[in-house]
Structure 1
């Protein structure tokens, strides 16, 4: 069966079953590299519009490259533009991550754009998502169940408004962006320390209270197990460029090079 006809969401299934869902970000815009990464047992891949040069055409080709694998495709949009949210879903994404959501009002607006009525207010137009009209009825019936709305918590304001954001009906994952959060606390480049530790605890507590999924980007593999112990169940462990750079660096360090 073509994966466009598969409307299950492996992220939801794994986390609802008590597991932790591990994924990677894609920032290169390369379908070739995305396909190579898809051979590894990660649960999801996030195509990053916010922090990369990816174009609409790159996006389509990357989705096509990973659709042949049991990878759940997620897209991070560049901003809170509902047209772009709908565009990504119509191309076949099963999750959309929206950056810099600081208030409950923003959370409601962007998460509602992810779902068809009566749950939300997403427009009808999923040409590729419906497997090019070969699966339209089932897609319209099941899309609200297979889509994940993910809002990013990455500022002092969003931490202050956690209760309202987490309590927003259509928000499913609260995903911490520690880099921007650290900067908002006046410690740019330092994602550790008391303030960040307390923020993580608050996010997990809010998710527990409202039955939402806590997510986070691990800036180091060394902290992934720590985050799992803290209660995070949707974790990004890096991006493909970082893995390539680290791999090359590790290989060179093992060679006795002469100057």
Structure 2
């Protein structure tokens, strides 16, 4: 976690993988691609709390920091993910600084916050109990609505925030233009979030869903520094293409 936070603070890009499946083998394979972090998607993926320890171990075996994209703002679930060993949380649909500040207290131990204290996987079931009491997870609010974009400056200024992460599909849908990332309303909202990050001295992030190296390079050129690149399922489908079409084309030629 120290290396990831230092890399973000230095302005260097941090590129992450995105897991929607609960296979530790897929997690390890993804981490072995050189990602700085890998997020287990508990919002849209098929992943439960019981899956997390094996996924985290697989990621860390290959040097990737394990993160979780939460399905909502449930503080109990956030605590369970952290207890399982998550080094950071990506929190969806954040729309105000006050709401996120309150949520963040559940991710920090007293006196800084209200996280419950226990012997858990994250502290080696007590072996590193004292050291872990000072642990501060990477906290990344996800901006996915017009309200969130409007409040981005206040959210980015929170001390507990490490980066802001754009959800382009949900943001475009909330603005009435689902999937149209070039629509002026969407462009303005995304620029507002990037500007808020620059003013607060925080990295901006985005999910580059298509596994296209040129598009990944474009996101970096645009100034994004916390970038999720594709997903396990999207990358698999893109790599396989449509074998039936390929075979039929070969037979007809």
With the length of structure 1 as denominator, give the TM-score of the two structures. Answer: 0.89
- Cα offset for 1:126? 5.1
Corresponding residue to 1:66 among 49, 59, 63: 59
Q: Deviations over 1:10-39 (max 9, x none)?
A: 321222233100001100111121112121
Deviations 1:175-218 (A, max 9, x none): 10010100011111222222222222211211121222211101
**Aligned residue pairs: how many?**
249
Is 1:19 matched with 2:9? no
Structure 1 residue 64: Cα displacement: 2.4
For structure 1, the 5+ residue unaligned runs are 1-7
Structure 1 residue aligned with 2:153? 163
Pick closer, same or farther for the CA change 1:181–1:126 going to 2, 3 Å. Answer: farther
How many angstroms apart in 2 are the aligned matches of 1:253 and 1:17? 46
Contact 1:9 1:94 in 2 (8 A): no
Shift of 1:139: 1.5
TM-superposed CA distance for 1:166, in Å, is 1.7
Partners of 2:25 and 2:128 in 1: CA distance: 28
Q: Distance in 1 between matches of 2:245 and 2:100?
A: 45
SS of structure 2 residue aligned to 1:235: strand
Unaligned runs of 5+ in 2: none
Pairing 1:188-207 to 2, within 5 Å after superposition: 188-207=178-197
Does structure 2 retain, via aligned residues, the 8 Å contact 1:27–1:53? yes
Distance in 2 of aligned mates of 1:31 and 1:113: 28
Contact kept, 8 Å, 1:45 with 1:72, in 2: the verdict is yes
Matched-pair contact (CA < 8 Å) for 1:178–1:217 = yes
Greater CA deviation, 91-100 or 204-213? 204-213
Residue aligning to 1:245: 237
1: distance between equivalents of 2:188 and 2:170? Answer: 15
